[in-house]
Amino acid sequence: MWAYQILLKLLTPFIFIKLKRFADNHENYSISQALGEVESRISVDLWIHCASVGEVLAVRPLVAEWQRLHPQKKLLITTMTPTGAAQVDQLFKHNVQHHYLPVDFKKSVKRFLDKILCSKLVIVETEMWPNLLMQCQQNDIEVFLINARLSERSLKKYLKFASLSKKIMQIPKKICAHDGVDAKRFEQLGAKNVCVTGNIKFDLTVPNTVLESNWRSLFSDETLVWVGASTHEDEETLLCESHKVIKQHHLHALLILVPRHPERFEDVYKLAKLHFTRVAKRSEVSAENWSGYDVIIGDSMGELLSYYHCSDVAFVGGSLIKRGGHNPIEPALLSKPILVGEHTFNFKEITQGLIDEGAGLICHDESALASRLLKLLGDSSLRMSMGEKALFFARRNQGAVGRVLSRIGEME
């Protein structure tokens, strides 16, 4: 633990630079909260921590079910990032309290926990901050890790600090893992009380607003649409190159590019302009006019389901580069054929399940991506068949929310 505290001290200047950048770029960010300051005591019945946007989106079905079961109880959601905070506000409005989780400085965490009246902390996925976990233990706050996943790469990193890893992994009262592979990796690190509950992302209900808005109905009949979702730097160029090939065969093909991080919206727009003349931002052009463009940049928050819904084929980003891939469950729930790159270690079992089901295909490079896109965009029957298999796979894996709430004692 002493090595971790030393590392934190060494990183302190860089941490403050990041906090300052957050504050400069986001009006809703609070440096004082990031340092553990709390204006008044927070008394809630359940505390859920979500690192950022992805975890906030993941926890939607669990929050909905918990609030249905406990309409009179209070819920706190903490995030690390301002984009995560914005997502909490957009999704849950005034039905939950939000606070920034303090940086894992010992004094900041203690300052924060001294103002929290809550006996149960639920951490989504793998946000294992040592000082937070140890001080929760001292403050008699039960910790649960849900939707827990641990890639082979992450396991190797934790094993480099085996003694610290074992210490913090034994603090959670229950670790609810995605699947058996993840569960075994946690146990390798010394975790106790590990169980398999599945992935709560499968339990997502597609909002009626997405279905009713139906952007696709606004496009011209000949428009073929594919979405590049949650993309990263160096990946958008590959997608644009693939789209050039598509345009040679399908004049009215449209690519919707949705960068993973909002701060990159403008950069990706400029990049797309280098490849195509007809490029627009979702924020500036209404969907009814998208058919007249080659590329639309999805520069909005909380609309990924709508982008998927209006597409014929979904490419899930972070997978053509060594980022590990993002969540392929959402397009599956919308009956879309799914394409991914070869780097899918973040969702390895789910991705392989979709491929085995006949609902997804791996593209090892932009050439393979273009080839598979051409085949799918030219065959509506194949798209429909793969989409149906994707939905079947997603529905077969539902039920995790109930299992998680039961394991953390929130079904009463």
**11 within a domain of the structure (yes/no):** no
CATH of residue 322: 3.40.50.2000
Q: Please give the pLDDT value at position 412.
A: 64
Whether 153 maps to a domain, the answer reads yes
For the record, the structure tokens of 321 come out as 């580069």
pLDDT value at position 291? 94
Q: Which residues is 326 bridged to in the sheet?
A: none
> Residue 343: inside a domain, yes or no?
yes
User: Considering the domain boundaries, does residue 8 fall inside one?
Assistant: no
Token pair in block for residue 236: 């958008």
Number of domains in the chain: 2
Shared-domain flag, residues 160 and 95: yes
Nearest to 228 by CA among 162, 342, 313, 333: 313
Does residue 412 fall inside a structural domain?
no
Full-model pTM:
0.89
Mark whether 171 and 238 lie in a shared domain. no
Q: Which two tokens stand for residue 324?
A: 């590990």
Residues 163 and 242 in one domain: no
Whether residues 283 and 182 fall in one domain:
no
Same domain, 389 and 403: no
Task: Report if residue 2 sits inside a domain.
Answer: no
Long-range contacts of 348-351 (CB under 8 A, 24+ apart): 348/151, 348/181, 349/178, 349/179, 349/181, 350/178, 350/199, 351/325
Between CA 399 and CA 255 the distance in angstroms is 34
pLDDT at 235: 96
Residue 264 sits in the same domain as residue 318 = yes
Same domain? 175 vs 265: no
- Listed residue (384, 356, 380, 362) closest to 316, CA to CA: 362
| 140 and 221 housed in the same domain | no
Q: Give the residue numbers annotated as catalytic, written as ranges.
A: 55
Contacts of 406 (CB under 8 A, 6+ apart): none
Domain holding 76, by residue range, is: 26-199+399-407
Residue 148: its H or E element: strand 142-148
In a shared domain, residues 182 and 327: no
Same domain, 224 and 185: no
Shared domain for 174 and 293, answered yes or no, is no
Q: Do 159 and 94 reside in the same domain of the chain?
A: yes
Beta-carbon-side half-sphere exposure of residue 118 (alpha carbons within 13 Å): 24
| Phi, psi angle pair for 243, to nearest 5° | -65, -30
- Give the list of residues 6+ apart from residue 291 with CB closer than 8 angstroms, or none: 219, 220, 223, 252, 254
3-state secondary structure of 116: strand
Token duo for residue 120: 């149960």
Q: Is 143 within the bounds of a domain?
A: yes
**pLDDT (0 to 100) of residue 388:** 98
Q: How many CB atoms lie within 10 A of CB 288?
A: 12
Residue 251 falls within a domain, yes or no? yes
- Tens place of pLDDT per residue across the chain (412 aa): 778 888 888 999 999 999 999 999 888 899 999 999 998 999 999 999 999 888 998 999 999 999 999 999 999 999 999 999 999 998 898 889 999 999 999 999 999 999 999 999 999 998 899 999 999 999 999 999 999 998 888 899 889 888 889 999 999 999 999 889 999 999 999 998 999 999 999 999 998 889 998 999 999 989 999 999 999 999 999 999 999 999 999 999 999 999 998 889 999 999 999 999 999 999 999 999 999 999 999 999 889 999 999 999 999 999 999 999 999 999 999 999 999 999 998 888 899 999 999 999 999 999 999 999 999 999 999 999 999 999 999 999 999 999 999 999 987 6
